[in-house]
Structure 1
Amino acid sequence: MAIKERKEREKQEMRNLIIESATQLFLKQGYDKTSIRIIADDIEYSPATIYLYFKDKDEIFYVIHENAFDILDKELRKHDVIADPFERLAALGRTYMQFGIQNPDYYDLMFIMRAPMQQIRNEEKWKAGECAFGYLISTLEACLEQDRIRKADLHVTAIQVWSFVHGLVSLYVRERMCILMMPDDATREMLYNSFDLFLANLKK
């Protein structure tokens, strides 16, 4: 049993090493310019070793992608304690923006970087992504049921909310907010205030 456990631990450690290396390489030089060979060189193993753990680069990216979404989902779920669904919706939006602002590289990898989505499409479910979006859906559903926001199609409203916060974070992450010529802390506060104004327009 001890030998089996050691081998499992060593296998997991190698997977983690590959994931950590690939994450940094994807963020540093982009998905297209990162190959299995480059990842292998970075961890000082042969490409054949990586293929023992992952079938291709797409699968590595998928694991990183899911891990990042899992982190975001855990942050969002901290707001389960907020009973009022509208207040919870406001907290979700702010947490989403805070995550993107504080983790621009991961946000870029999750939402902006051009990379194959085929691996995600091949999965039965996009587990982490669906969990995060599903939480938004359930929160909005509660808002509608309790008459906390104007009546509208649930999924259309969800896309509106997601698109709004995503747009704000994307502009910030890609440094397009520099056009405002404002200090960074003032720019961030403006983002949050913009979301508050958006929510006010949703409120009944």
Structure 2
Amino acid sequence: MSKAAATRQTRIRQKSVERRERRRQETRQAILEAATQLFEREGYEGFSLRQVAEAIGYTPTTIYLYFKDKEDLLFAVCQQGFTEFTEALGRAYRQNPDPLQRLHALAWAYLEFGLSRPLHYQVMFMQRSDWVTKATDSKGEVQGSNSYTILMNAVIEAMKAGAIRMGDPIETTNLLWSGVHGIVSLALSMRGVIPKWEESEARRLMRNYLEMTDRGLGP
């Protein structure tokens, strides 16, 4: 076989491998998209691999070629949620140069994610909070650590700028985080239970909470 012929065969094999990998990634993404839609409709308990397979016209066996079980697929769905959450916080951080307004923007981004992705939020931060330290980004970094670091960096910068008083940045970060998480958690868990607990009430509480923390943490 000539060198040119060998080179052609190598290229053909390489393209074949690339096509198979592309199809594999497309199938995996189709499964994830169907799983996300089903999850948002049925929730954590009502979700099944058989339903996902039926939604995209595959057999359940095909799903198992990409995800080992229901939990593995749900984790992948929530990992996308962690990515969306971290990106939302990152945008809030970058788009608000004023240190105090940046803290406010982070709190609002946190709330809006919870209200717009209620089932994601409940699984990610309430039902399966152990996934916070498991979900990683494309660089292999833990998503939960990334989002926490964004908030803590904003706290440190606000302290340095004199927007809030100096103190233990970890303690202050945890204080802000717990307050915002509490508002989101109440808003989601009280839906349909207490009439006043609508999204507008959650936003009203967030405004009041931020006013209180501004006064309490003021320099």
Asked whether 1:34 is paired with 2:36, we answer no
Task: Give, in angstroms, the shift of residue 177 of structure 1.
Answer: 8.6
Asked whether 1:155 is paired with 2:170, we answer yes
Rate the CA distance shift 1:20–1:122 in 2: closer, same or farther, 3 A.
closer
- The sequence identity of aligned pairs, in percent, is 32
For the residues of structure 2 that align with 1:68 and 1:119, how far apart are their CA atoms?
11
Task: Give, in angstroms, the shift of residue 119 of structure 1.
Answer: 9.5
TM-score (norm 1): 0.80
Look up the equivalent residue of 1:103 and give its one-letter code. R
Aligned match of 1:71: 84
Q: Which structure has the greater CA radius of gyration? A: 2
**Does the Cα contact within 8 Å between 1:62 and 1:120 map onto a contact in 2?**
no
For the residues of structure 2 that align with 1:181 and 1:48, how far apart are their CA atoms?
46
Give unmatched runs, 5+ long, in structure 1.
none
For the residues of structure 2 that align with 1:119 and 1:102, how far apart are their CA atoms?
19
Look up the equivalent residue of 1:43 and give its one-letter code. I
Task: Give, in angstroms, the shift of residue 171 of structure 1.
Answer: 1.6
For the residues of structure 2 that align with 1:120 and 1:21, how far apart are their CA atoms?
25
Aligned match of 2:6: none
For the residues of structure 1 that align with 2:86 and 2:113, how far apart are their CA atoms?
10
TM-score (norm 2): 0.76
State which of 121, 143, 162 in structure 2 corresponds to 1:107. 121
Which range moves more in the overlay, 5-14 or 91-100?
5-14
For the residues of structure 2 that align with 1:140 and 1:188, how far apart are their CA atoms?
23
For the residues of structure 1 that align with 2:192 and 2:213, how far apart are their CA atoms?
21
Rate the CA distance shift 1:61–1:120 in 2: closer, same or farther, 3 A.
farther
Rate the CA distance shift 1:197–1:176 in 2: closer, same or farther, 3 A.
farther
Q: Secondary structure at the match of 2:44?
A: coil
**Does the Cα contact within 8 Å between 2:132 and 2:144 map onto a contact in 1?**
no
Rate the CA distance shift 1:40–1:92 in 2: closer, same or farther, 3 A.
same
Asked whether 1:54 is paired with 2:54, we answer no
Aligned match of 1:44: 57
Task: Give, in angstroms, the shift of residue 140 of structure 1.
Answer: 1.0
Look up the equivalent residue of 1:198 and give its one-letter code. M
For the residues of structure 1 that align with 2:150 and 2:198, how far apart are their CA atoms?
33
Rate the CA distance shift 1:62–1:126 in 2: closer, same or farther, 3 A.
farther
Task: Give, in angstroms, the shift of residue 136 of structure 1.
Answer: 0.4
State which of 180, 191, 197 in structure 2 corresponds to 1:165. 180
Aligned match of 1:140: 155
* Count of matched residue positions in the alignment of Structure 1 and Structure 2: 202
Look up the equivalent residue of 2:183 and give its one-letter code. L
Asked whether 1:94 is paired with 2:108, we answer yes
Look up the equivalent residue of 1:129 and give its one-letter code. G
**Does the Cα contact within 8 Å between 2:38 and 2:52 map onto a contact in 1?**
yes
**Does the Cα contact within 8 Å between 1:59 and 1:119 map onto a contact in 2?**
no
Q: Secondary structure at the match of 2:47?
A: coil
State which of 6, 18, 25 in structure 1 corresponds to 2:31. 18
Aligned match of 2:97: 83
For the residues of structure 2 that align with 1:151 and 1:137, how far apart are their CA atoms?
13
Q: Deviations over 1:143-167 (max 9, x none)?
A: 2233322333222221211111111
For the residues of structure 2 that align with 1:182 and 1:37, how far apart are their CA atoms?
35
For the residues of structure 1 that align with 2:45 and 2:193, how far apart are their CA atoms?
28
Task: Give, in angstroms, the shift of residue 19 of structure 1.
Answer: 1.2
